[in-house]
């Protein structure tokens, strides 16, 4: 087959993919607003974050699930909140100060107040000798503990014999908070978009995912939708497990799903396949990434990572992949104070949003048709189809798209099947199908 021009970006799908220029600044502004908040898997930081997201997403519902509620094999934990935390020297100077950076306090630290020797204190300190200028991010969700995180250089400078420690936190019955937004479409079948909402002042992980998901939802709210779209903003692991435990009905309607995370730095896109590996979203992601003409990687599923672990647990086995740029743990800023507002860029946030819009546009437009004149090639010229060249396609490319759609529209092949087999951009195949469906040659089949 001759090579055809790949001009997918110029062919809009149902108004899905037109990202306004300059949207990257607005994405970054949302990241900047969310950055100072001290989030964890529960607590007021999650509520404040959802309140801000609610300004962007008027229909966002906030759910509170009480401590102690069973959730699959887990239980909703106690709620954690913190007002202040510090380590002072004998002169009363704060040598480690939560107010200066919320990463200084290990998340879920139990309350503490007292004097500790340098040796005793050291057992509760976390630093990175190989990255001595950075504060690491540490948590202790499920074991009662406390700790401070600090640059290794700062740790080496703590040479006094005793220090006063105060962690003014509460760990008490409360609730786990998550957000959810449903955008109903023509079909009750759903596309699930999930982002974790539990990290404190870390920009790429996880605020980039929240910002892209929020702007994606804003965009889809204005677009014609075949599917219904369900956005969940959940604390990692326990949040998705809690959501799953309360939503068996919705789970049964999920046809495609995507976890969005790590989408703000400049690394190449990485798509992690669903557990099934051959789900429609796995194939659509590969198609869109290949056609985007950017370096990227597609990785097979593994039962580690983000909330796809829960959605792809064997009992659910949902067709949920994970889209990121450089994967977790593979960039030096990961889970450190270097994952800051300079590390995520407006342009990369915007490019990430645009890619996700293209992927969802493929899923939403991926239908099956039947050729109603399958005996021999129908006459295209008589129906004016040769003239209907649009979207920057040349005549030969347009003709190939028409012929492929007619040939493979036997009721079994979807437009994605056709795009894959014809090695054509999905948008061209969709455009050809739309033109053919406007004549007597092609009929849309029900899902």
Q: Does 333 bind Zn ion (CB under 5 A)?
A: no
Q: How far is the CB of 362 from Zn ion (least distance, A)?
A: 28
How far is residue 229's CA from residue 208's CA, in Å, rounded to a whole number? 20
Q: Binding string to Zn ion for residues 374 to 413, with x set by CB under 5 A, is what?
A: ----------------------------------------
How far is residue 233's CA from residue 406's CA, in Å, rounded to a whole number? 42
Nearer to Zn ion, 128 or 165 (CB): 128
Of 167-175, 198-206, 276-284, 377-385, which segment contacts Zn ion by CB under 5 A?
A: 198-206
Nearer to Zn ion, 213 or 385 (CB): 213
Position closest to Zn ion via CB? 205
How far is residue 276's CA from residue 317's CA, in Å, rounded to a whole number? 7
Strand (E) or helix (H) holding 359: helix 346-365
Nearer to Zn ion, 205 or 307 (CB): 205
How far is residue 226's CA from residue 361's CA, in Å, rounded to a whole number? 10
Choice from 205, 333, 358, 364 touching Zn ion (CB under 5 A) = 205
How far is residue 40's CA from residue 59's CA, in Å, rounded to a whole number? 23
Of 85-93, 202-210, 251-259, 362-370, which segment contacts Zn ion by CB under 5 A?
A: 202-210
What are the start-end ranges of the H helices in 134-197?
152-156
Which of 196, 309, 316 has the alpha carbon at shortest distance from 249?
A: 316
Nearer to Zn ion, 205 or 282 (CB): 205
Q: How far is the CB of 209 from Zn ion (least distance, A)?
A: 10
Q: How far is the CB of 266 from Zn ion (least distance, A)?
A: 19
Of 145-153, 205-213, 226-234, 377-385, which segment contacts Zn ion by CB under 5 A?
A: 205-213
In degrees, to the nearest 5, what angle opens at C-alpha 183 toward C-alphas 180 and 185? Answer: 145
Which of 430, 391, 408, 288 has the alpha carbon at shortest distance from 5?
A: 391
CA-based R_g, the chain, Å: 25
Of 89-97, 187-195, 201-209, 291-299, which segment contacts Zn ion by CB under 5 A?
A: 201-209
Q: How far is the CB of 205 from Zn ion (least distance, A)?
A: 4
**CA distance readout (Å), 46 to 64, 76, 210, 362, 379:** 11, 15, 12, 32, 60
β-bridge pairing 190-196 and 74-75: unpaired
Q: How far is the CB of 95 from Zn ion (least distance, A)?
A: 27
Of 204-212, 218-226, 373-381, 436-444, which segment contacts Zn ion by CB under 5 A?
A: 204-212
Q: How far is the CB of 334 from Zn ion (least distance, A)?
A: 8
Query: Residue numbers of the site for Zn ion (CB under 5 A)?
Result: 205
């Amino acid at each position: 087959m001759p090579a055809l021009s790949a001009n997918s970006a110029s062919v809009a799908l149902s108004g899905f993919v037109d990202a306004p220029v300059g949207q990257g600044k607005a994405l970054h502004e949302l990241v900047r607003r969310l950055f100072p908040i001290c989030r964890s898997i529960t607590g007021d930081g999650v509520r404040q974050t959802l309140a801000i997201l609610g300004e962007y997403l008027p229909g966002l519902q906030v759910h509170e699930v009480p401590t102690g509620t069973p959730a699959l094999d887990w239980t909703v934990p106690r709620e954690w909140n913190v007002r202040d935390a510090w380590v002072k020297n004998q002169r009363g100077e704060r040598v480690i100060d939560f107010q200066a950076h919320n990463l200084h306090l290990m998340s879920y630290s139990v309350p503490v107040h007292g004097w500790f020797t340098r040796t005793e204190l050291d057992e509760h300190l976390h630093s990175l000798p190989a990255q001595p200028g950075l504060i690491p991010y540490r948590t202790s969700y499920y074991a009662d503990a406390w700790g401070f995180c600090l640059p290794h250089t700062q740790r080496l400078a703590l040479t006094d014999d005793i220090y006063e420690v105060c962690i003014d936190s509460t760990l008490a019955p409360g609730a786990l908070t998550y957000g959810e937004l449903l955008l109903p479409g023509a079909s009750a079948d759903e596309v699930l978009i999930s982002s974790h909402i539990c990290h404190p002042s870390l920009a790429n992980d996880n605020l980039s995912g929240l910002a892209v998901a929020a702007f994606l939802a804003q965009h889809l709210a204005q677009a014609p939708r075949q599917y219904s779209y369900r956005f969940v903003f959940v604390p990692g692991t326990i949040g998705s497990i809690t959501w799953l435990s309360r939503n068996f009905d919705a789970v049964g309607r999920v046809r495609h799903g995507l976890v969005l995370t790590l989408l703000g730095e400049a690394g190449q896109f990485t798509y992690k396949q669903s557990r099934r590996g051959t789900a429609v979203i796995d194939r659509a992601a590969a198609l869109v990434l290949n056609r985007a003409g950017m370096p990227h990687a597609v990785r097979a599923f593994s039962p580690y990572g983000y909330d796809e672990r829960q959605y792809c647990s064997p009992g659910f086995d949902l067709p949920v992949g994970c889209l990121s740029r450089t994967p977790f743990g593979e960039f030096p800023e990961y889970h450190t104070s270097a994952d800051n507002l300079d590390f995520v860029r407006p342009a990369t946030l915007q490019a990430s949003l645009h890619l996700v819009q293209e992927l969802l546009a493929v899923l939403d437009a991926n239908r099956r048709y039947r050729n109603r004149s399958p005996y021999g090639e129908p006459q295209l010229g008589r129906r004016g189809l040769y003239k209907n060249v649009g979207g920057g396609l040349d005549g030969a490319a347009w003709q190939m798209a028409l012929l492929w759609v007619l040939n493979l529209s036997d009721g079994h092949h979807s437009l994605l099947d056709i795009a894959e087999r014809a090695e054509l951009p999905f948008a061209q195949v969709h455009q050809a199908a739309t033109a053919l469906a406007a004549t007597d040659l092609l009929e849309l089949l029900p899902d």
